[in-house]
Amino acid sequence: MFKKVLIANRGEIAVRVMRACREMGIKTVAVYSDVDREALHVRFADEAYPCGPPPARESYLIGKRIVEIAKKAGAEAIHPGYGFLAENGDFADLCASQGVVFIGPSGEVMRAMGDKVTARQTMERAGVPIVPGTTERLTDEAIARWVTDVGPPVMIKASAGGGGKGMRLVRSEKELSAAIARARSEAKSSFGDDSLYVEKFVEEPRHIEIQILADVHGDAVHLFERECSIQRRHQKVIEEAPGNRITPELRAKMGEAAVAAAKAVGYVGAGTCEFLVDARNHFYFLEMNTRVQVEHPITEAITGIDIVKAMIRVAAGEPLGLKQDELAIHGHAIEARIYAEDPDNNFVPSPGEILVYRPAAGPGVRVDSGVYQNARVTVFYDPMVAKLVTWGRDRAEAIERLRRALSEFVVKGIKTSIPFHQKLVHHPLFLEGRYDTGFIEQHMGGGKGPGRAAASSDRSFGRSEEDLEARRVAFMMAAIVAYRRDKQRGLASASAPAGGGQDPWKSFGRRSQMRGGLR
């Protein structure tokens, strides 16, 4: 096993990976940009090194520098988290060539999955159902011929795209030529690759994804599904596991398809197969994510498997040691992503200092977060503040706990999406589990705030006694906090800006002498 791992990321996922490392007796190395000197992930790490200016492309995305830091610190492996370098095949290759283990699949596998046309070809050969459509890069004329043949509606997609980027819905043939032109120029400017393909449009689809784990010995298992249809502009808002209206038969078939997909490419590590599921419960492979995902904790909650520890173990060459028929679903889990965004103002980012931070806790509650009280949310990175995950013996209990946890979660100083979640978890269709990818657009006023449809439902949602109580408590806490902060600033020496001995996080990290000019 590795003795030391560098975490090439920040925020909650860096902290999450460090927790896994600490349980495994592995030393952790953080990297941080200039605005992240005092970030939680730096405080959690055994050692920390600066990696550049605030913009990620000048710090967290400089693969060469990150690998140099890993070598200098004596880390044998790098965990990329999600985002940044996580799905960069060239970075995985660079690690390999420098003798550092990349915790994830090979660069070759990442490129094969990153290119959607190649992925569709691979899946078709492996017997995994793909969305009906083409498996070649097409000229404008070939696209037009295909659409005339099968008829609209169709989706024109960029082969280098994914996650909704470079996609065009075509509902009638007269929209076609303009859509092709737009898709091609968007793909060219976003990805430097204007290859396009076409799919039949799947109406009212649900986004269901299957978590898989695979080792270097050819073993692979799936950890069942996550339902991720509640999205706003391709940004997931709430995820749950297991999925709604997923029968044991469908679950088994999708799980087998995902394992076949992993085996077809020689996958190693944790990965996710995304599927669209239509109203008739037909499922179609969409794309594979070759990283740990934001929403992995809900799968951990229902299976008891620590996905990050599994990733580290298989990267070190250890066997998975899991048998499919020994894995089972226990209860139900839901994740609400709490963003520093103003839900009443079209979800504009709300950066600033967090004046009060009182995360939810208690039975069945897990909070993964990269912030703390008095930390700053900047404009440089993803504005996610915390992931609130609740578990219950069944879906009803998971929802009860989510409502309770949302009502006790206090964040002051910045706006958050908590009020939006509070409305969402009282919506009849959510409670019934009858929703698809159109839910927020059609039933939450597009998530645009009270200026539109949401206004009428404001009164019935989110005015609970708990909320009022939380507000009173928050106000009192803010007063106490302001008092303490003023007092502390008066007393603190210049070399201990974060509060010295009163820092509640301080005891988590064994301090090292190697923190290159920190503090």
Tell me which residues touch ligand MV4 (CB under 6 A): 131, 155, 162-164, 199-202, 205, 207, 231, 234, 276, 286-287, 437
The neighbouring-strand residues paired with 210 are 225, 273
Cβ proximity to ligand MV4: between 101 and 196 the closer is 196
* Alpha helices, H only, 383-464: 395-408, 418-424, 428-432, 439-443, 454-457
Question: Which member of 184, 291, 313, 515 is catalytic?
Answer: 291
Stretch (H or E) spanning 90? helix 89-97
Is residue 194 classed as helix, strand or coil in its secondary structure? Answer: coil
Rounded distance between C-alpha atoms, residue 243 and residue 232, angstroms: 19
Cβ proximity to ligand MV4: between 133 and 392 the closer is 133
The neighbouring-strand residues paired with 327 are none
Cβ proximity to ligand MV4: between 80 and 162 the closer is 162
Rounded distance between C-alpha atoms, residue 28 and residue 18, angstroms: 6
Q: At what angle do helices 89-97 and 63-73 cross, to 10 degrees?
A: 30
Rounded distance between C-alpha atoms, residue 193 and residue 191, angstroms: 5
Rounded distance between C-alpha atoms, residue 151 and residue 39, angstroms: 53
* 251 has catalytic annotation: no
Compute the half-sphere exposure of residue 334: CA atoms within 13 Å on the CB side of its CA.
28
Smallest separation (angstroms) from ligand MV4 to the CB of 167: 6
Cβ proximity to ligand MV4: between 287 and 335 the closer is 287
Smallest separation (angstroms) from ligand MV4 to the CB of 460: 27
Cβ proximity to ligand MV4: between 117 and 375 the closer is 117
Cβ proximity to ligand MV4: between 279 and 482 the closer is 279
What is the b/e burial string over 29-57, where b = at least 16 CB atoms within 10 angstroms of the residue's CB? Answer: bbbbbebbbbbbbbbbbbbbbbbbeeebe
Smallest separation (angstroms) from ligand MV4 to the CB of 392: 25
Cβ proximity to ligand MV4: between 162 and 462 the closer is 162
Smallest separation (angstroms) from ligand MV4 to the CB of 21: 31
Cβ proximity to ligand MV4: between 153 and 351 the closer is 153
Rounded distance between C-alpha atoms, residue 452 and residue 450, angstroms: 5
Rounded distance between C-alpha atoms, residue 332 and residue 454, angstroms: 28
Cβ proximity to ligand MV4: between 199 and 368 the closer is 199
Rounded distance between C-alpha atoms, residue 28 and residue 371, angstroms: 18
* Alpha helices, H only, 220-295: 248-264
Give yes or no for a contact between 42 and 36, defined as CB atoms under 8 angstroms apart: yes
Give yes or no for a contact between 197 and 137, defined as CB atoms under 8 angstroms apart: yes
Smallest separation (angstroms) from ligand MV4 to the CB of 204: 9
State how beta strands 341-342 and 348-349 pair. Answer: antiparallel
Give yes or no for a contact between 342 and 415, defined as CB atoms under 8 angstroms apart: yes
CA angle 495, 26, 294 (to 5 degrees): 85
User: Which residues lie below 8 Å from residue 428, measured CB to CB, with a gap of 6+?
Assistant: none
The DSSP call for residue 329 is -
Backbone angles phi, psi at 339, to 5 degrees: -105, 150
Smallest separation (angstroms) from ligand MV4 to the CB of 237: 11
Smallest separation (angstroms) from ligand MV4 to the CB of 202: 4
Closest CA to 62 of 99, 94, 29, 105: 94
Smallest separation (angstroms) from ligand MV4 to the CB of 418: 22
Give yes or no for a contact between 173 and 154, defined as CB atoms under 8 angstroms apart: no
Cβ proximity to ligand MV4: between 180 and 481 the closer is 180
Smallest separation (angstroms) from ligand MV4 to the CB of 138: 15
Smallest separation (angstroms) from ligand MV4 to the CB of 316: 32
User: Which residues lie below 8 Å from residue 456, measured CB to CB, with a gap of 6+?
Assistant: none
The DSSP call for residue 370 is S
CA of residue 169 relative to chain centroid, distance: 25
Residues serving a catalytic function are 291
